[in-house]
Structure 1
Amino acid sequence: NVSYDSISNIVPKLIHEYKEIEPDENTISLNKFILSRCNISKSQLFNVMKSIKKTSHNKCEE
């Protein structure tokens, strides 16, 4: 199983990749994109997304 640390490193990279393909309404959702690219469960992804939102939110406020 993928460790939480590696997931939290992979997911931001995948988010960046996803943004680079300039998603439109025909593109798969971000979550589906991430799930298709790395072998994690939806609950793992959900937890990582929550923590990423927290950290990126904090960075914005600094």
Structure 2
Amino acid sequence: MAKRKDARVTVILECNSCGLKKVSTGISRYITQKNRHNTPNRLELRKFCPYCYKHMIHGEIKK
């Protein structure tokens, strides 16, 4: 039996500024879900980064 691809997939969001700097304090990451059919592109959301101490854009990364 063939497995069908689910529309909902789990994605990891990483802070764009912390991810680029690779600071020693850490990298802010969030786990969320998205609908693959409605949002085929990479997801970007404004979330709070505890290492930058402000709301930053978090982008989807590969697992």
Whether these two folds match at TM > 0.5 is no
Q: TM-score range by the shorter chain?
A: under 0.3
**Going by fraction, where is strand more abundant, 1 or 2?**
2
Q: Structure 1 or 2: larger helix share?
A: 1
Which structure has the greater CA radius of gyration? 2
| TM-score of the two chains, using structure 2 as the length reference | 0.26
Structure 1 length normalisation: TM-score? 0.26
